[in-house]
Structure 1
Amino acid sequence: MGHEVVVTGFAPLADDAARVLVLGSLPSVASVQAGQYYGHARNAFWPIMGRLFAFDANADYPERCAALMAAGVAVWDVAAQAQRPGSLDSAIRPPSVRPTDLDGLLQRCPGIGHLFFNGGTAARLFRRHHPADAAIRQLPATQLPSTSPAHASLRFEQKLAAWQSLRERLQAS
């Protein structure tokens, strides 16, 4: 079975109001099947965002996306495409990663002033696949604990506490 699964990510959730950018690594199998960012039922991303920005984390996907964008939050992934059997970030084949055009996003959404990495893999892929002289690399960046259910060493409340820094950054800007 030498066949590798190629996962292709989604278009960015972003508009002119974006002031921060949350970067994941690559959508999970569940997310791809759902056609949604953070589509796994046990991923803490939407419950955390709902708590931070006072919207219903169980609302329809377009509603949740609109609430996030209204708060100034853009969402995308570091990898536009990569080979990855299964959903674990650790299974991403680094040589197969095709990075997203983050500098292009920055041109379309010049208000973005801070990056937040959803987990360590996103931060590592970002450093590996976006050159040091890229415009996106000049922005301040914060690595946050992964919202993935695979990252089970932290409880929901601990993840929520760490992710408060995203809301604080928006309130400061």
Structure 2
Amino acid sequence: MNTSAQESTARKRCFDPVIDERTRLLVLGSLPGEKSLMLQEYYANRQNQFWSLMSEVIAVRLVPLDYSSRLKALLAHGVGLWDVVAEAHRKGSLDSNIRERNDNDLHGLLSRHPNIKAIAFNGGTAGRLGIKVLGAQAPAYQIVELPSSSPAYTLPYADKAMRWQSLRPILAAV
């Protein structure tokens, strides 16, 4: 079977959440992209601006660090990671190609981590789906919808960074 055919039929699964008792802010993406799935790392595509944006938010140079150290730095600053979509069919990495999805149990995760006070959605798809999944539970959290860190979202980096920096006061307050 060729790669294109495999991509069109493959069921993609998200990673386990990166979270601990210090987590105050949960950043939710939609579903890991191809490069991330291949390397088994959140935001592994070097063109994805997530690590650069979070570097500005927490004032730690994350990009030169290895993956494990990046995750430790996020957790040390009260930031957790996960995805709204647990698994889905998707050709390639574009959110617009997500089909037949099953969503993660956000309610269960949040009930097990009562210190989470804010949820930031990385991109429009994560925001739309995540708010639906949260339903009546959404008003219990400070919700921030961020421009996608994906290279497919062509907003200039400076504009993305300005919006992402809205997370700084949240982390200072929680």
TM over 0.5: yes
CA distance in 2, matches of 1:72, 1:115: 12
Question: Which of the residues 147, 150, 155 maps onto 2:149?
Answer: 147
Alpha-carbon distance between aligned partners in 2 of 1:6 and 1:29, rounded to the nearest angstrom? 12
- Is residue 105 of structure 2 the alignment partner of residue 101 of structure 1? yes
1:140: Cα distance to partner? 2.6
Which whole-Å CA distance do the structure 1 matches of 2:71 and 2:162 have between them?
Answer: 22
Give me the TM-score of the superposition, normalised by structure 1: 0.91
Rounded to whole Å, the distance in 2 between the matches of 1:51 and 1:38 is: 16
Per-residue displacement from partner, 1:75-94 (whole Å, max 9, x unpaired)?
A: 1000010110100011111x
What are the within-5 Å matches in structure 2 for residues 1-173 of structure 1? Answer: 4-56=9-61, 57-93=63-99, 96-128=100-132, 130=133, 132-133=135-136, 135=137, 138-152=140-154, 154-173=155-174
Which sections of structure 2, spanning at least 5 residues, go unmatched? Answer: none
Aligned residue pair count: 168
CA drift at 1:137: 5.8
Q: SS of 2:114's equivalent?
A: coil
Q: Aligned-pair distance for 1:131? A: 5.5
Tell me, yes or no, if the aligned pair for 2:56 and 2:165 is still in contact at 8 Å: no
Shift of 1:158: 1.2
Give the drift of 1:108. Answer: 2.2
Alpha-carbon distance, 1:51 to partner? 2.1
- How many percent identity over aligned positions? 42
CA distance in 2, matches of 1:42, 1:169: 26
Secondary structure, aligned partner of 2:23: coil
**Root-mean-square deviation (CA), in Å?**
1.6
